[in-house]
Amino acid sequence: MGDGNGPSAPGHISRERVPPEQRVTGGFPVLHYGPVLHVDQDQWRFRLHGLVAKEQEITWEQFQALPRAKVECDIHCVTHWSKLGTHWEGVLGKTVVKLARTDAAARFAIVQGYGGFDTNLRLGDLTADNVLFADTFEAQPLTAEHGGPVRLVVPHLYFWKSAKWVSGVEFTAADRPGFWEKAGYHMRGDPWKEERYSGGQGG
Ligand SMILES: Nc1nc2c(c(=O)[nH]1)N[C@H]1C(S)=C(S)[C@@H](COP(=O)(O)O)O[C@H]1N2
Ligand SMILES: [Mo]
The pLDDT tens digits of the residues spanning 103-137 come to 999 999 999 999 999 999 999 999 999 999 999 99
Cα-to-centroid distance, 164 and ligand 1 (Å): 6
Is the beta carbon of 203 within 6 A of some atom in ligand 1? no
Indicate the fold that domain 40-193 takes in CATH.
Answer: Sulfite Oxidase; Chain A, domain 2 (3.90.420)
The pLDDT tens digits of the residues spanning 123-176 come to 999 999 999 999 999 999 999 999 999 999 999 999 999 999 999 999 999 999
Q: At 100, is the pLDDT very low, low, confident or very high (cuts 50, 70, 90)?
A: very high
For the cut 80, the answer to whether the pLDDT of residue 74 exceeds it is yes
The answer to whether the beta carbons of residues 73 and 155 sit under 8 Å apart is: yes
Write the secondary structure of 33-94 as one string of H (helix), E (strand) and C (coil).
CCCCCCCCCCCCEEEEEECECCCEEEEHHHHHCCCCEEEEEEEECCCCEEEEEEEEEEEEHH
Counting from 1 in the atom list of ligand 1, the atom nearest the Cα of 31 is 19
Cα-to-centroid distance, 29 and ligand 2 (Å): 9
Q: At 5, is the pLDDT very low, low, confident or very high (cuts 50, 70, 90)?
A: very low
